[in-house]
Amino acid sequence: MRLILDNLHDRATLTATSAAAECGIDTTQRDEREYRWRSADTGEQVITATFDRTRYLDTVVLAQHNLSGAADLVLELLDSDGNTLWSSGSVITADYIPAGVWRAGIDPWMATYNDQLAQPLTIIDTPLTAARGYRLTINDPANASGALEIWRIAAGQWFSTVYGPSWGIDLNWRDNGKRTRTYGGSLRTRGGGFVWRELALRLDHLTPSDMTRLTVDLAQRGSVATVFLDCLPQRGSIDRLRAAFFAQLDGGYGDTHDRYRNYAAPLKFLEV
């Protein structure tokens, strides 16, 4: 498990090549689902983020975007003069459905999860770099929506505990629908269709340093703190994608000092 506890993108000054009315790039700094950046067209889009000072980062995450499997991304980390410190080169967003899961005669050849998941995700990891900002260049000219969209962006350093979660990670998909029975016995569901995730886990082997970091950067910020959770970074494909999202703690943080130099913490995350 790894977390972005401090999202540098949320405090950065942002620019973008274009934006549709009321869909500016600053909406990628907000948690509300109804706000998202939307380009004016499918031409090349360049997003630039400038931090208040030099900051360390080792990843940039694009969450709930509409980029097709054919989209091409280039991420550059920049110094204070706008010069490139590191470049990812060409990165494709396609997350191909693997053999054994791909269904012959049902799924198209070279099918990707981009077209099947309602909330596509792209994570670009970088070397740990002291940078003043980053530049993201996106090319997706054949996007079927006629414009490019991104809901949230995260940029920062990953925090990982020395030991991962214990077995028994519990992931649930929730819906806000309310069900009632009619007098005739039919089942009616109202208000459904909006789905979010809940993920519960246990960190049973927290070191003192891990406990300190979670106390300082998560516990003290309370339930309003939004983090990015990548619960299964070593797993591929759908296993990883379904357990990675922007989240807030449900019920706050708590731990138990259960033995010498060891702490145990049950955590529950709610998708924002």
Residues 22 and 132 in one domain: yes
- Is 165 inside any structural domain? no
- Claim to verify: residue 30 and residue 91 sit in the same structural domain: yes
pTM: 0.90
**112 and 75 in a common domain:** yes
Write out pLDDT tens, residues 42-68.
999 999 999 999 999 999 999 999 998
Q: Are residues 40 and 175 in the same domain?
A: no
The residue with greater pLDDT, 103 or 208, is: 208
Q: Are both 43 and 62 inside the same structural domain?
A: yes
Out of 160, 189, 220, pick the residue that ends a domain: 160
**50 and 137 inside one domain:** yes
Residue 180 and residue 57 in one domain: no
- Give the chain's mean pLDDT: 92
Which whole number is the average pLDDT over 222-246? 90
Give the end of a domain, one of 142, 160, 178.
Answer: 160
Say what the pLDDT of residue 105 is.
Answer: 61
190-229 confidence digits (pLDDT tens) = 887 789 999 999 999 999 999 999 999 999 998 889 999 9
Total number of domains in the chain = 2
Cα distance between residue 2 and residue 271, in whole Å = 15
HEC-encoded secondary structure of 22-56: CCCHHHHHCCCCCCCEECCCCCCEEEEEEEEEEEE
Same domain (yes/no): 139, 250? no
- 150 and 15 in a single domain? The answer is yes
Are 92 and 188 within one domain?
A: no
The domain boundary, picked from 140, 160, 180, lies at: 160
In-domain check, residue 243 = yes
- Same domain for 149 and 186: no
Q: Are residues 72 and 113 in the same domain?
A: yes
CATH assignment of the domain containing 143: 2.60.120.260
Of 85-99, 175-189, 200-214, least confident by mean pLDDT is: 85-99
Average pLDDT for 255-260: 97
Q: What is the pLDDT of residue 106?
A: 59
pLDDT in tens, 145-177: 999 999 999 999 999 999 999 999 999 999 988
Q: How does residue 235 score in pLDDT terms, banded at 50, 70 and 90?
A: confident
Confidence of residue 2 (pLDDT cuts 50, 70, 90): very high
- 213: which 2 tokens? 């970091």
Question: Could you tell me the residue range of the domain that residue 116 belongs to?
Answer: 2-160
Q: What is the percentage of the chain residues whose pLDDT exceeds 70? A: 92
Query: pLDDT confidence of 139, banded at 50, 70, 90?
Result: very high
